[in-house]
Structure 1
Amino acid sequence: MSTHFYGEGNIGSAPEFREFPNGNEGPRRLLRLNIYFDNPVPIKDGGFEDRGGFWAPVEIWHRDAQHWAGLYQRGMRVLVEGRTVRDEWEDADENERVTFKIEARRVGILPYRVESLKLSPKPTAEEQAAVK
């Protein structure tokens, strides 16, 4: 079961990068982010109150996941597009558990709290071939 997801939130901890063997192919790369999706509601004094926010694990499966692990940082505001996926598992006491995670198609960095940005030059065709 999956549902389209689109939300804005803050990264709550350092990104977690992992690689998995993939037979004769290159390894599969996973970047996992723990994100708090808030729901700010205006209140009478002109401020905002968070109502109904939630934490969710966000997974990005991509060949560039290792590079992105150094880009995303704790506290960064991001916009996530993807799908929610039901994840069934057993805990240490063999109790069945169900959680939901988000498999992201895109995770965009929003400009809140960003102090600087450095763009690297576009790689040449030879550099792109070397990565594959």
Structure 2
Amino acid sequence: METLKKIVSNQYFPAAAVLTAVVLFWAVGLLGGLSLLHNNQPPLTTLTWMLFVYGAAVLTPLAGAWAAVDLVRRWQRNRAAQAADAFEEAQDTEAAYVEPAPEPEQAAAAPVSTPSPAQQAAPAAPAKNVKQAGRKQAA
């Protein structure tokens, strides 16, 4: 009973059921399912059967194509989601084991320079008056 519940609640079930019904309809039709037309039946029964078969012959290919496209779309979406999950999992495990980057050799070899007393005592240049957008200036 649990496996039946799993199958019926599966996201692929509706489209797979439609596709199976379409294939069975055409298989029965090819194997002699139209034998009702060979029997001596009242005209209204024959007409009803012919209208049903005509409607099914027109609609089943459309339903089958729709079901097949739906199955492929769901399969591709699930495959892409699994790939994205695997990628995120790989990034998470990689981020957990990141080693610190070694210091560049040039930075270690370059001497640290200190500014001279003349550079330290030099006053900063005065800032220019810059107009700010959206403000009115006094005349």
What's the TM-score once normalised by structure 2's chain length?
Answer: 0.17
Higher-helix-fraction structure: 2
Which structure would you say has the larger Rg? 2
Q: Which has the higher contact order (CA 8 A, sep 6+)?
A: 2
